[in-house]
Structure 1
Amino acid sequence: MSKIQRRVFVMGAATAAVGGQAAALPGKKYLLIDPRVIHRSTGARKALGQVVKEGRNPIFAEDKPWEARFDNLYANVLRDERSGEYRCWYSPFLIDEAVTSTPRAERLKTPYKPRKREMGVCYAVSKDGLRWEKPELGLVEFDGSRRNNIVSRGPHGAGLWRDDLEKDPRRRYKMFFRGKTMAGLFSADGLRWEEPTAFSAIDAPGDTHNNWFWSPEQNAYVGITRLSDRQSRQRLVGRTESRDFVTWTKAEEVLRALPSDGKRQAYAMPVFPHAGLYFGLLMMFDSDTDRVHCELAFSTDTVTWERVCPGVPLIGNGVEGAYDWGCVYAAARPVVLDNGEIRLYYGASNGRHTSWRDGFFCLARLRPDGFAGLEAESAKTVARVVTAPVTVSGKRLTVTADAANGSIRAGIVGDVEKLGIDRCVAVKGDVTGRRVEWKGATLQALGGRQVQIEFELSGAARLYSFGFEG
């Protein structure tokens, strides 16, 4: 839905959930962007969260002989929940003869034309996610030496993650990438990898940030890759699935650019689950400007996708001359800290996509649950949102919202006298898990029952999520 489009929307919560109840989301939390959660809404629109770029960006850069060109970087960042250590696998071009043979002074008058390139996977670690080390692993030879942080040579656009459901410890880490065909690698520690297994049945070009995740709803691994429509000269997002991470289905299109996008195309889309939804960090390549930014999409089933505010970046480009003026490529899997803060790592470059550019690894932040929410269509109007039936699973209702320049009230549908909106104490300020209170009444008597909640959003208030506690 466009940020400026005015409409009343009724979402199919009753048809999308058993018995008309909203999907049972983990952690007693419901995202307002989830269409299964909303029964009806008037005067409301979807709105992207506001990222804050790290002031110390860029976090690291191309500073090793085997980091000829970060290009799109295609980073994958994992934070170990027990140790707190951050691990990053990223994919530079280890070899790019155009870069290494063209002095910087000559690049102003010589167009970039790639030749003899080889991509690989490198590894970095951090204790705090801000200061990173590229350890000498001694695993893979480059230019006659193993004193480097390379873990694999050859994979293109590798999506890599730890599979905590895997029973075979030798296959704990899984890499999904393009080789001669689509293929995979397995590892016990994420550093030492077995020989590749071909996934030729996927039948995809795969020249993108390929990525994978486990979908409990599908009871399958889902892979996201790239397809192409040669007739319309469009890059497409493709989807494939597998029960065992070995036998995959033929990839099928799940998302492409809209007619209104003009010369923008869907270049890459790392996907990850969050609070009962699947989010896609959608990189849109503009062939007119030769630049890339990151948008947001979501899905309830990994098959049908909706973009949030098409054309509006979640992670936008910086000003001309900045480290991320040219291209932004979000890493797979944001890191969600214990306090709910969302860390969005991304590859960035200061030049255009098909030109000379310096590459960097960067960080942007979002507030808890802050990918997207609902707000009034105008600060001068009021939005009303009625949820699908949800089970009161705690003694108190909580909300996460930005309401410094507005307010939010809530009421239980059908209980006007005790828990109606008019008896609610307005929530103001930017809040996370703030308790909603009513004058002289509580939710305690409704414990275990299904209710519908009506929210009133005034001013510039934006509601991201609600839940129950206690």
Structure 2
Amino acid sequence: MLITDDKFLFFDTAVTKSITNMSLKPGDVAKSPQNPLFKEDFFSEPPRPWEARYDNGYPNVFYDAEYGLYRCYYTLFSKDDVSANTPPEARRGSQYVPKPGRETSLAYAYSKDGTEWVKPSLGTVQFAGDSDNNLIMRNAHGASVFRDERETDPGKRYKMMLRLDDEPRLLAASFSADGIHWREPIPWEPKERLIKADTHNFAFRDGHSGKYILISRHWNQGVRVVVRSESDDFIHWSKPAEVYRGIGSDDQIYSMPIFRYGNLYIGLAAIYRDGDRELAHWDKVDCELTYSGDTITWNRICPGTPFIPRGAGEYPDGDCDSGCIYPSVPVFHPDRIDLYYMGGNGQHTNFRETGLCVASIGLDRFAGYEPSDLSREGCLETSVLKMTGSRRLHLTADVWDNGYVKAEIRDRSGKPVDGYRFEQFRTITETTTGGTASWEQNGEIGMPDAGFTIRFRVKNAKLYAGEMRQR
């Protein structure tokens, strides 16, 4: 029995019990026509010599209300002789073969509106004898940065998890009062390399459990796998354990930033394609959705179908994100969700130019059910639900021409409840986000002590989410 005192998403198998003529599909994201919002500037004028290659970027974008700024922390190769000595116009038809001596660093940019970005001169890190750059830290691989609103020590308001690229390449934690000036990283104990961590080492404070969670990566049987660790203080961590893997070499989870939404955790998995070299997607990276109820057991949403689709074309003439997509966790607004990501225009192991991009999607619209055959009605029934107190049902759905959504409450035996039948429902005929669903004589569902199910009839519409709200 599912307790429904929070938003529930219909792609969750714990919510949806049965479907008839219904298919689950990702929501529709809209990419900004201004992409890329910023890009590598090694060959720009004036040049930024520390921006030789963004590679995967591993962006961490969030809105900082204290400063009124969007912040972006991103990984780059500050030293990469091959990229530095091969300008973009000379890369066509060439193969990128990196040489020893590459160096990863963490850089910073900010924006007042989320679209126009500034790479400030921070004056905190020396590069080639000069501190006129936007570098936060050198020899920092796959760092994640976030603002910890629950932290009581102002000096630890901002937190960073990274892999130190000096041998033995340990995971480490760092703290900052302002997000710009950082303390010396504290390596994990014991000082031995537990996982490879050559990825986006994504850490966050789980508002549900209060613990810090790290999602990183290791290798097992020749493929990349997702590992998880947890901590009470951001310094002492549990031994990383595998929690998810893809399906073979053509479906490897390269990185997976996660966030809580409703009663679930949603992961934005970067899927690396390293299978059949004759496939068009070989050596490219797609972004797909995963979800979990506890950050330990994970499920895929629409496997093989990208959530943020790659752009069209091939290197070097394709769209700016035609090769690889590496996402940040979203930035939430009252009317939309912004999905920032680093988009690259080439294969993962080849030459590519990378930049920060953004796409948007409506609230709740990560994935939803729509009729498989749009000419016919589809049905969806929830698992047995239970709630505390009387509540109103609110739904998020897209409704197209001549479409509708209808709902009926059934008791645990499957019998329709009087007053909550389909014929008594006020049919939803327009797209709605968290809109009220009601019946002619009943605005509230008043069965707190007994389990019930909700059966939906859907025509030319897509059903995403529901919520039981108190008045």
Please report the TM-score for the alignment, with normalisation by the length of structure 2.
Answer: 0.88
Q: Does 1:53 find its partner at 2:31? A: yes
Q: How does 1:33-182 map to 2 (within 5 A)?
A: 33-63=11-41, 64-81=48-65, 84-115=68-99, 116-179=101-164, 180-182=169-171
Extract unaligned runs of 5+ from structure 1. Answer: 1-13, 15-20
1:225-240 alignment to 2 at 5 Å?
225-229=216-220, 231=221, 233-240=222-229
Of 321, 326, 333 in structure 2, the residue corresponding to residue 324 of structure 1 is 321
Give 1:163 deviation, angstroms.
Answer: 1.3
- Paired with 2:420 and 2:332, the residues of 1 have a C-alpha distance of 33
- Matching of residues 356-367 of structure 1 within 5 Å: 356-367=351-362
Match of 1:255 in 2: 244
Quickly say closer, same or farther: Cα 1:352–1:318, change in 2 above 3 A: same
The whole-number CA distance in structure 1 between the counterparts of 2:238 and 2:362 is: 37
SS at match of 1:433: strand
- 1:18 is aligned to none
| 1:304 Cα deviation from its structure 2 partner | 0.4
Q: Is the 8 A contact 1:217 1:301 kept in 2?
A: no
Secondary structure class of the residue paired with 1:428? coil
Q: Is the contact made by 2:5 and 2:388 (CA closer than 8 Å) also made in structure 1? A: no
What is the rounded CA distance, in whole Å, between the counterparts of 1:435 and 1:264 in structure 2?
Answer: 40
Please state how far the C-alpha of 1:37 moved relative to its aligned partner.
3.3
Q: Following the alignment from structure 2 to structure 1, what is the Cα–Cα distance between the partners of residues 398 and 92?
A: 46
Q: Hey, what does 1:291 align to over in structure 2?
A: 284
Which deviates more from structure 2 when the two are superposed, residues 392-401 or residues 301-310? 392-401
Moved more, 88-97 or 421-430: 421-430
Matched AA of 1:271: I
Correspondence 1:278 to 2:273: no
Shift of 1:359: 0.9
Does the Cα contact within 8 Å between 2:390 and 2:446 map onto a contact in 1? no
How far does residue 99 in structure 1 lie from its aligned partner after superposition?
A: 1.0
Q: Give CA deviations for 1:313-352 in whole Å, capped at 9, x if unaligned.
A: 0011111111011111111x2001022x110000011111
SS in 2 for 1:98: helix
Are 1:378 and 2:337 an aligned pair? no
Tell me by how many angstroms 1:373 deviates.
2.4
1:458 matched residue in structure 2: 458
Q: Tell me, in whole angstroms, the C-alpha distance in 2 between the residues paired with 1:328 and 1:394.
A: 44
* CA displacement 1:46-97 (0-9 Å, x = unmatched): 3211111111111111123221111111110111246542111111111111
Identity of aligned residues (%): 37
CA distance in 2, matches of 1:399, 1:83: 35
Give unpaired runs (5+ residues) of structure 2: 42-47
Aligned to 1:9: none
Query: How does the TM-score come out when normalised to structure 1?
Result: 0.88
Please state which structure has a larger fraction of its residues in helix.
Answer: 1
CA deviation map 1:252-304 (0-9, x unaligned): 11111125xx6231111111111121111001111232111100000001000
After superposition, the Cα gap between the structure-2 partners of 1:311 and 1:429, relative to the gap in structure 1 and judged at 3 Å, is same
Answering whether residue 302 of structure 2 is matched by residue 309 of structure 1, we say yes
**How has the CA–CA distance of structure 1 residues 185 and 409 changed in structure 2, closer, same or farther, with 3 Å as cutoff?**
same
Shift of 1:374: 2.7
CA 424–451 in structure 1, closer or farther in 2 if over 3 Å, else same: farther
